[in-house]
Chains A and B, each alone.
Chain A
Amino acid sequence: MKFVLYVDANSPIHRLDPRTKLYWVLCVFIWSMTFNHPLYTAAILGIVLATLLMSRAIKGVKFATIPLTILIAMCIVLWPLFRREGTTVLLSLGPLNIYYESLLYAVAVGFRLTAMVLAGLTLLVTTRIEELEAALVKLKLPYPIAFGVSAVFRFIPTLMGDAHMVIAAQRARGVDPLRGSLVTKIKNSALIVAPIFMTSMRRLSTLPLAMESRGYTPTAKRTYLIQLKMRPVDYIYIALSTALTATFIYMRLNGIGVIYPHYI
C-alpha cells in the first residue's frame, strides 16, 4: 500500500497555502451537494479535474480508480431502489418501480462523489502532512491533536512492517487466517491481532517518555518551524471559490440544476 500520497512537483496548486486548499475542498463539497442534476454535478467534477490536471500530480490519484468505480457502481444500483419517485417508469419489477428520474439522480450522485473524492485527493497529493498539520494548528486545532494525528501517519508504516512479520511468524506455527469456517477464520485472525497489538504497545511505551524528554508539555505554548504565509494568489482563489459558492447556492434556490427539488 501507499503510506504517502504526496507527489513532489512545483505546480501552482502545490504552491498554494494549505489553508486555501482546505477551503477549496470545503467549497467543492458544498458545490457538489448543491445540485442533483447530472449535468451540473458533472460540471463541478470538471472544475475539480481541471484543478487536478493543473497540479501535475495526477499519477498520485490513479490508485483510487478501483475504489471509486465500486463507489459509483454502488450508487447507481442502490439509489434507484431507494429513491422511488418520479413520473417516468423505466422498469417495473413486481411492486418495485425504477424511475428515469431516480436513475438520473443516481448518476448525479456518482459525479458528486467522484468530485468530492478527487478534491480531497488533490489536496492530499499536493500538500505534505506537515503543511497540513501547520494549517490545522493555524486554524486553531489544539496542537496535541494535530501532533497525535501526524504521529499516526508516522507510525503506520513501521507497525505495518511489524504486522507482516507477526503474520509470517504465526503462519509458521500453523495459524492460518485464511482457512476453515468463518468463525475459525475470525478466531485465528484474533490470534494474529493479539501479537500485533502487543508488539506495538511495547514499541510505543517509549513514546510518552521520548516526547517529554524533548521538552514537550501538552499544555505549554510553543513555536513552529514551518511558517505559513498567504500570498495574493491565495486570496484570489479564496474569493473565486466564495463567489462560485454564492452563485451555485443562488441557482439552486431558484430551482436550477435539480432533479428532486426536496432532496439534497
Chain B
Amino acid sequence: MREVLEMWKYSRMIASFVLAAAVYAVVLWVFAPLWIIPGVTGIRIANILPPVFSLLFGPAAAWGIAVGNLIGYDILGGALTIGSIGGFIGNFLLGYMPYKIWHRMFREPPHCRTLSSVLKFEFVTLIHAAVCAHVISLWCEAVGFVPYTPLAFIIFTNDFLAPAIAGPILMALLYDRVRRAGWLWTDVMKGYEYLPTTVKKRWVIGTILVTIGSVIGLVATIGVGLGLGQPLFFGPGLKFIGTPLVATGLVFLIIWIIGVALLE
C-alpha cells in the first residue's frame, strides 16, 4: 500500500498517472458500448485497459483508472453523485488488484505470450472485476442509490468480459515496448519488485482470502439479493433483504481486506 502514496514523489509516475487516466477517459468516450441487453448492460471497450495499465504502471494505474473514470464518466458525463465515491474506490481497485497480486505471486512476466502467462492474466482479471463489482454495488446499496444485485451483475460482466477477451492481445503488443521505454512502475520506483524472487506463504494466503472475499463474496451476495441464500445465512424467519445483504457483503469485504493486508 505504501507505493500508492509514494508514487506521487516521482514525476514520471505522475506522467504514467496522466497517461492512464486520460487514455481511459478517452477510450470510454470514443467507443460506444457493445450492448448485451440494450440499455441495461453492455461491454465497455475501455475496460480492456485497467488490468493492462495496472500490470504496467502499478499504483499510477490505480489512481489513473479511478480519476479517469471520475472525470470521463461522472464529471464530463454529468453523473456526479454519492455513487461516485463508490465508483472512485471501485475503479481504484480495478487498477490496484492486478499488479498487487502479480508482484506477490507470479514469477513469470505478464507478457501474455505463453499460455501460463495468459492464464495468470485471466486470473487477476477475474479478481479485479469481482472486487470492483462487489465494492461499488455494496456502496450503492448501502447509501440507497441502486440495488446491489443488478448493479453487481452489470459491473462484473462489464469489467470481466472485455479484458478477458482482448486484454492478452493488448498486453502482448505493449509489454515489451513499455519495458524497453523504461515506463514499468518498478523501473521508475526503485526498491519494488516487479516479480517476486520468492513467494512468501502469507502472500499465498492473502491471495486465497482475496479470491474468497471477491469472487465468492460476489456470488454469495448476489444470491442473497435474489433471495436464494436467505435460509442458508439468516434462517427462514427473516423477511427483509436489505440489511442482510449489506451484512453478507460486509463479511466478505472484511475477508478481502485481511487478504489485501496479508499481501503487503
Q: Counting CB contacts under 8 A, is B119 at the interface? A: no
**Cβ contacts A39-64/B at 8 Å (1 or 0 each):** 00000000000000000000001011
Q: Counting CB contacts under 8 A, is B181 at the interface? A: yes
B interface residues (Cβ-Cβ under 8 A, vs A): 8-12, 14-15, 17-19, 21-23, 25-27, 29-31, 34, 39, 43, 45, 48-49, 63, 67-68, 71-72, 74-82, 84, 142-150, 161-162, 165-166, 169-170, 173-174, 177-178, 181, 183, 225, 239-243
Q: Is the CB of A116 within 8 A of B81?
A: yes
Q: Is the CB of A218 within 8 A of B14?
A: yes
Q: What CA separation (Å) do A125 and B19 show in the bound complex?
A: 26
Q: How far is the CB of B85 from chain A (nearest CB, A)?
A: 9
Q: Which residues from A are CB-within-8-Å of B49?
A: 193, 197
Q: Is the CB of B146 within 8 A of A197?
A: no
Known: A61-B78, A117-B80. 13 other contacts (CB 8 A): A68-B78, A82-B241, A148-B18, A160-B29, A186-B48, A187-B169, A190-B170, A196-B23, A205-B15, A205-B183, A207-B14, A219-B9, A262-B242
Q: Is the CB of A201 within 8 A of B144?
A: no
Q: Which residues from A are CB-within-8-Å of B68?
A: 152
Q: Which 6 A-B pairs have the closest CB atoms?
A: A64-B78, A120-B80, A82-B147, A190-B166, A144-B8, A208-B11
Within 163-188 of A, Cβ neighbours of B (below 8 Å) are at 163-164, 167, 177, 182-183, 185-187
Within 106-149 of A, Cβ neighbours of B (below 8 Å) are at 109, 112-113, 116-117, 120-121, 124, 142, 144-145, 147-149
The stretch among A11-19, A73-81, A234-242, A245-253 that forms the contact with chain B is A73-81
Q: What CA separation (Å) do A187 and B124 show in the bound complex?
A: 20
Q: Is the CB of B30 within 8 A of A167?
A: yes
Q: Is the CB of B144 within 8 A of A109?
A: yes
**When the two chains form the complex, which single residue of B15, B18, B162 contacts A186, counting CB atoms closer than 8 Å?**
B162
**When the two chains form the complex, which single residue of B25, B143, B161 contacts A156, counting CB atoms closer than 8 Å?**
B25
Q: Which residues from B are CB-within-8-Å of A148?
A: 8, 14, 17-18, 21, 63, 67
Q: Is the CB of B78 within 8 A of A194?
A: no
For B16, the closest partner residue in chain A by CB is A204
Q: Which residues from A are CB-within-8-Å of B241?
A: 82, 84
**Cβ contacts A74-100/B at 8 Å (1 or 0 each):** 110011011111000000000000000
Q: How far is the CB of A134 from chain B (nearest CB, A)?
A: 17
Q: What CA separation (Å) do A262 and B142 show in the bound complex?
A: 12
Q: What CA separation (Å) do A81 and B148 show in the bound complex?
A: 12
Q: Which residues from A are CB-within-8-Å of B150?
A: 78, 82
Q: Is the CB of B71 within 8 A of A124?
A: no
A interface residues (Cβ-Cβ under 8 A, vs B): 1-3, 5, 29, 33, 36, 61, 63-64, 67-68, 70-71, 74-75, 78-79, 81-85, 109, 112-113, 116-117, 120-121, 124, 142, 144-145, 147-149, 151-153, 155-156, 159-160, 163-164, 167, 177, 182-183, 185-187, 189-191, 193-194, 196-198, 200-201, 204-205, 207-208, 211-212, 216, 218-219, 262-264
Tell me if A's interface is mostly helix, strand, loop or mixed.
Answer: helix
Q: Which residues from B are CB-within-8-Å of A263?
A: 144, 242
Q: Which residues from B are CB-within-8-Å of A61?
A: 78
Q: What CA separation (Å) do A167 and B81 show in the bound complex?
A: 32
**When the two chains form the complex, which single residue of A33, A79, A196, A208 contacts B147, counting CB atoms closer than 8 Å?**
A79
Q: What CA separation (Å) do A142 and B17 show in the bound complex?
A: 15
Q: Which residues from B are CB-within-8-Å of A147?
A: 14
Q: Is the CB of A183 within 8 A of B165?
A: yes
Q: Is the CB of B22 within 8 A of A156?
A: yes
Q: What CA separation (Å) do A81 and B30 show in the bound complex?
A: 34
**When the two chains form the complex, which single residue of A121, A155, A191 contacts B18, counting CB atoms closer than 8 Å?**
A155
Q: Is the CB of B19 within 8 A of A204?
A: yes
Q: What CA separation (Å) do A61 and B18 show in the bound complex?
A: 27
Q: Which residues from A are CB-within-8-Å of B74?
A: 120
Q: Is the CB of A193 within 8 A of B48?
A: yes
Q: Given A186-B166, A190-B48, A198-B174, A74–B146 Cβ distance below 8 Å?
A: yes
Q: Which residues from A are CB-within-8-Å of B19?
A: 200-201, 204
Q: Which residues from B are CB-within-8-Å of A208?
A: 11-12, 14-15
